[in-house]
Structure 1
Amino acid sequence: MKKIKLASLMLVAGCASNSGIIPIGKDTYMVSRQAATGFSGSGTLKAEAFQEASAHCAKQGKSLQVVSTQEAQPPFLLGNYPKAEVQFMCLTDGDAELARPKLKPKAEVSVEVKNAY
C-alpha cells in the first residue's frame, strides 16, 4: 500500500512544469510556470517567472522589459492548474522601447457602442 501511495505522489509531483526561456521574436522571450495540481494555488508562480526572466536578461548584460503577463483563472480542475506566463524583452540601456511597464488587464469582452444620433 505504501508503494502505491508513493507512486501516486510521484505522478502528481511530476506534473509541474516550467517552460524555460523560449525565444518568440527579436530580443523577445516567454517563460511560464505551472503548478502540479489545482490544490496548490498560484502562489509564487508569477514571481518565479519574473525572476527567471530577469536573470536571463542580466546574463546578457541587458535590462528586463515586460511585454505582458497572463495567469490561468479558476476553477483549477481537469488540467486547468495555476499557471503564470511572462512575455518580455531583453534590451540595452538607452533602447527606445525600454520604459516603465504599462501593464493593464485585458478585457474579456469588448462592446461596440454606435452613436444613435
Structure 2
Amino acid sequence: MLLVCASCASVVADGRGGFVVTKQGLTGASDPGELRRAVLIEASLYCSSLRRDLHITGLTESRPPYVAGTSPRVEVTFECLPGR
C-alpha cells in the first residue's frame, strides 16, 4: 500500500523520475519568499511521506516587474532519494 502526503496535492511527477511543485501568488504584491518556502515545505513533506530524503534538482522564480495580471511564481524540481 502506497501512502502519500495528503496535503501535497500539487506535487506532479515530471516524467523522468522526479517531481515538480509550483506556486503562484494571487497578485503582483505576493511575497516570493513565502512562495519559495511553501514549495520547499511541500516537496519536503512529500518525500517524508515516502520515507525518503529530499534532493532539490532545480528552483526557478519569476522576476519583476509584475504587470498586467502577472504575479510571482516559484517552481521546485526534486527527487525523493532513499534515506541514508
TM bucket, shorter chain: 0.7 to 0.9
Aligned to 2:22: 32
Q: Return the match for 2:66 from 60, 65, 76.
A: 76
Q: Distance in 2 between matches of 1:27 and 1:61?
A: 16
3-state DSSP class of the match of 1:66? strand
Query: One-letter code of the match for 2:28?
Result: G
Query: One-letter code of the match for 2:59?
Result: T
Q: Distance in 2 between matches of 1:40 and 1:24?
A: 26
Query: One-letter code of the match for 2:68?
Result: L
Report deviation, 1:77: 1.3
Q: Distance in 2 between matches of 1:25 and 1:62?
A: 19
**What's the C-alpha RMSD, in Å, of the aligned pairs?**
1.6
Report deviation, 1:39: 1.9
> CA contact under 8 A between 1:27 and 1:90: conserved in structure 2?
no
- Structure 2: gaps spanning 5 or more residues: 1-8
Identity of aligned residues (%): 30
TM-score normalised to structure 2 length: 0.82
Misfit runs of 4+, over 3 Å: none
Paired residues in the alignment total 76
Deviation by residue 1:7-66 (Cα, 9 ceiling, x = unmatched): xxxxxxxxxxxx700001354100011000102231310111000000000000000000
User: Highest Rg: 1 or 2?
Assistant: 1
Task: Output aligned runs, 1:87-102, within 5 Å.
Answer: 87-94=77-84
TM-score normalised to structure 1 length: 0.60
Larger proportion of strand: 2
